[in-house]
């Protein structure tokens, strides 16, 4: 990081701390919400707690929700790992469905995301995020759990299962990314600096247009809009630069740390819940034009992944995209609860 960028980010952090009390105020030019760098001003669907810890010599915190089972408890805990363009709050429907079925549900925001710390310097790896998550779970008395990850959270869930197989009862992967190695296929490296410049240009329109085309099969529902504003609000707020910088570091982690080669090493039962209309691939827009149509082919990737993971069960949603839990919550949660109950 250059000295100038370091100074800009440090200034942004100082500004954000002085402006947190007004971070939720509407942007005067757009009349849309602006949030603080740790999503101050955006309400979550359950009480948010903080896990304080030290990592890489820095004091950090991870925000999380811990929802008790309703009715007859199953005795099982499910950890929900959000995706790159998502937060713990976007699991709202799944939290309700799982708690209602008797599961304890723990929903963290990973470091670098949403209501958790956004450090100025951090070596982001999936191993580090998995270790952070394991420490959080130990702090709340969770010895073993089902780990459920969506999108980038699916990559993290796989890494977690590889690192902590004895503490992972079952994996649930919801349209995970990382089912192919984009780098090896020819997607060029953007590097952190280019990602940073791209992230500084983030707007609600860009988020909405991308998600509509890539996630929701060119359909849009009003219930998707709060999640657009959740992300865009951090880029309207006083901490825009530190948010963009951490996002750039995270994109580089996703691009450079594929998990696809290690699928055969997973030992736990794994439930794959895949919307087949998904076309997500990191850096696709920067890839050679001839390569783009070959990336993010989820009908093909779903089958390859199911064959690669020894104890995999594949459930597909032919008309859904990247976020089936949000497109058709009823159908998705029926399949999820059935798949959880079938774990041997």
Give tens-digit pLDDT for 276-299: 999 999 989 899 999 999 999 999
Average predicted confidence (pLDDT) for the chain: 91
- The closest of 113, 7, 138 to 60, measured between CA atoms, is 113
pLDDT at 108 over 60: yes
Q: How confident is the model at residue 342 (pLDDT cuts 50, 70, 90)?
A: confident
Residue with tokens 């670098």: 112
User: Bigger pLDDT: 332 or 28?
Assistant: 332
CB 236 within 8 A of CB 134: no
pLDDT tens digits, residue range 159-216?
999 999 999 999 999 999 999 999 999 999 999 999 999 999 999 999 999 999 989 9
Residues 6+ apart with CB under 8 A from 126: 155, 156, 159, 253, 257, 259
The pLDDT of residue 339 is above 70: yes
Q: How far apart are CA 312 and CA 170, in angstroms?
A: 10
Band (pLDDT 50/70/90 cuts) for residue 71 is confident
pLDDT digits (tens, 9 = 90+) for 230-252: 999 999 999 999 999 999 999 99
Q: Is the pLDDT of residue 262 over 50?
A: yes
186: alpha, beta or left? (left if phi > 0; alpha if psi -120 to 50) = left
d(CA 230, CA 113): 11
- Which residue, chain included where needed, has tokens 């580089």? 252
Torsion of CA 98, 100, 106, 107, to 10 degrees: 70
Contacts of 241 (CB under 8 A, 6+ apart): 8, 9, 12, 200
**What is the pLDDT, as a whole number, of residue 1?**
46
- DSSP H helical segments within the chain, as ranges? 3-19, 92-100, 126-139, 152-163, 182-185, 191-200, 204-214, 225-236, 240-256, 298-308, 324-327, 329-341
pTM: 0.91
């Amino acid at each position: 990081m250059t000295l100038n960028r370091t100074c800009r980010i440090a200034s942004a952090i100082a500004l954000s701390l002085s402006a947190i009390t007004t971070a939720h105020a509407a942007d005067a030019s757009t009349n849309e919400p602006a949030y603080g760098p740790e999503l101050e001003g955006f309400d979550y669907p359950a009480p948010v707690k903080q896990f304080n810890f030290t990592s890489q010599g820095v004091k950090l915190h991870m925000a999380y929700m811990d929802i008790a089972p309703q009715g007859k408890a199953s005795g099982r805990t499910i950890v929900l790992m959000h995706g790159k363009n998502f937060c713990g709050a976007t699991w709202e429907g799944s939290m309700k469905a799982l708690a209602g079925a008797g599961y304890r549900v723990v929903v963290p925001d990973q470091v670098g995301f949403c209501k958790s710390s956004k450090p100025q310097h951090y070596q982001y790896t999936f191993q580090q995020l998995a270790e952070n998550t394991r420490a959080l779970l130990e702090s709340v008395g969770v010895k073993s759990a089902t780990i459920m990850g969506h999108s980038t959270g699916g990559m993290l869930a796989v890494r977690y299962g590889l690192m902590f197989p004895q503490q992972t009862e079952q994996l649930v992967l919801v349209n995970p990314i990382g089912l192919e190695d984009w780098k090896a296929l020819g997607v060029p490296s953007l590097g952190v600096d280019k990602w940073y410049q791209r992230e500084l240009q983030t707007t609600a329109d860009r988020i909405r247009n991308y998600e509509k085309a890539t996630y929701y099969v060119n359909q849009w529902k009003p219930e998707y809009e709060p999640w657009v504003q959740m992300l865009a609000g951090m880029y309207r707020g006083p901490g825009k630069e530190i948010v963009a910088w951490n996002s750039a570091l995270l994109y580089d982690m996703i691009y450079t740390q594929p998990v696809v080669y290690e699928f055969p090493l997973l030992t736990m039962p794994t439930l794959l819940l895949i919307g087949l209309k998904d076309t997500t691939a990191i850096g696709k827009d920067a890839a050679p034009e001839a390569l783009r149509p070959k990336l993010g082919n989820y009908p093909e990737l779903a089958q390859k992944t199911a064959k690669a993971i020894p104890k995999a069960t594949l459930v597909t949603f032919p008309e859904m995209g990247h976020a089936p839990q949000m497109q058709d919550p009823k159908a998705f949660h029926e399949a999820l609860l059935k798949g959880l109950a079938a774990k041997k």
